[in-house]
């Protein structure tokens, strides 16, 4: 059975106490940023901050740092090759935005697969997972994966047509094969995790634009960093992302929406929910 998410009933991020400091709201590490893909890294990093993360560190190749410096001076930086054994206790990883599929990317993903750190997996991290198989997730950890239908097809060794023909069957197969919590993006985005199988009724075709998925990845990681479990973060992030997309489409027209427009409306969507 697929349940429908209702905007007023969603789990909220925790209220901030008056004596709060940035360490109270987690530290997101966004791992990606191949030479020509620094924009994806910057979008996901900014989304993690907009979701409420206390600290964000971007991890990428040196050529990507200019994107981050231009869009998000608040973030800190780790340059490839990075090693993740010295992560802080409140770390959450967002793996994949602009990662690429070269040898260095494979090495990073292999290392991250052995960690017990909570992580959001997207984009090329999922393509590498499809290539290396479920054994990559051998270490118990809280993991949230956010494939679009093409990535889901690769993970299932199927086709996009088959995934779209039976989206419910596809997301169930992903969870059975790999474990973890799953978001299957697309019209009527599906979320499958500890809280059951859910569908988000919000969103519009204008959100089918480059970088939209990177924004969702950052939102998921930023919410997990504040203490939401993977299923709670998935439900809230998907609906906030979709609501922001609807607000952007109302203002810009669906054909003109770009990922930065969606990101710009995230604060308004969160304010609506927290009111």
100-120 per-position pLDDT tens digit: 999 889 999 999 999 999 999
Residue 198, beta-bridge partner list: 3, 191
Residue 3, beta-bridge partner list: 198
What architecture is domain 22-274?
3-Layer(aba) Sandwich (3.40)
Residue 28, beta-bridge partner list: 56, 92
Q: Is the dihedral of CA 211, 214, 216, 218 positive or negative?
A: negative
Lowest mean pLDDT among 70-84, 212-226, 233-247: 70-84
Mean per-residue pLDDT over the chain, rounded: 94
- What are the structure tokens assigned to 250, written together? 């109302």
Query: What are the boundaries of each domain within the chain?
Result: 22-274
62 has pLDDT over 90: no
DSSP-assigned states of every residue in 153-164: HHHTTS-HHHHH
Question: What span, in angstroms and rounded, lies between the C-alpha atoms of 224 and 119?
Answer: 9
Q: Confidence class of residue 68 from pLDDT cuts 50, 70 and 90?
A: confident
Q: Confidence class of residue 85 from pLDDT cuts 50, 70 and 90?
A: confident
Residue 119, beta-bridge partner list: 93, 143
């Amino acid at each position: 059975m697929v349940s429908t998410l209702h905007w007023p009933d969603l789990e909220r991020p925790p209220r901030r106490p008056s004596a709060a400091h940035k360490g109270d709201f987690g530290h997101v590490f966004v791992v990606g940023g191949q030479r020509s893909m620094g924009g994806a890294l910057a979008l996901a990093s900014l989304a993690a901050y907009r979701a409420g993360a206390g600290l964000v560190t971007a991890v990428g190749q040196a050529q990507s740092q200019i994107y981050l410096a231009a869009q998000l001076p608040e973030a800190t930086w780790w340059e490839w090759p990075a090693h993740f054994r010295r992560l802080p206790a409140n770390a959450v990883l967002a793996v994949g935005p602009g990662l690429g599929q070269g040898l260095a990317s494979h090495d990073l993903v292999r290392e991250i697969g052995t960690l017990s750190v909570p992580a959001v997996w997207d984009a090329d991290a999922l393509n590498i997972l499809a290539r290396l198989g479920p054994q990559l997730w051998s270490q118990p950890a809280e993991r949230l994966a956010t494939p679009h239908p093409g990535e889901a097809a690769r993970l299932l060794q199927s086709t996009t047509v088959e995934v779209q023909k039976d989206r419910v069957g596809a997301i169930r197969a992903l969870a059975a094969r790999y474990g973890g919590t799953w978001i299957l993006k697309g019209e009527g985005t599906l979320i499958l995790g500890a809280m059951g199988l859910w569908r988000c009724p919000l969103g519009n075709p204008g959100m089918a634009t480059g970088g939209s998925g990177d924004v969702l990845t950052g939102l998921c990681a930023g919410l997990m960093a504040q203490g939401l479990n993977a299923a709670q973060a998935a439900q809230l992030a998907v609906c906030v992302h979709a609501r922001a997309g609807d607000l952007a489409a109302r203002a810009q027209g669906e054909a003109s929406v770009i990922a930065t427009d969606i990101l710009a409306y995230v604060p308004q969507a969160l304010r609506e929910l927290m009111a």
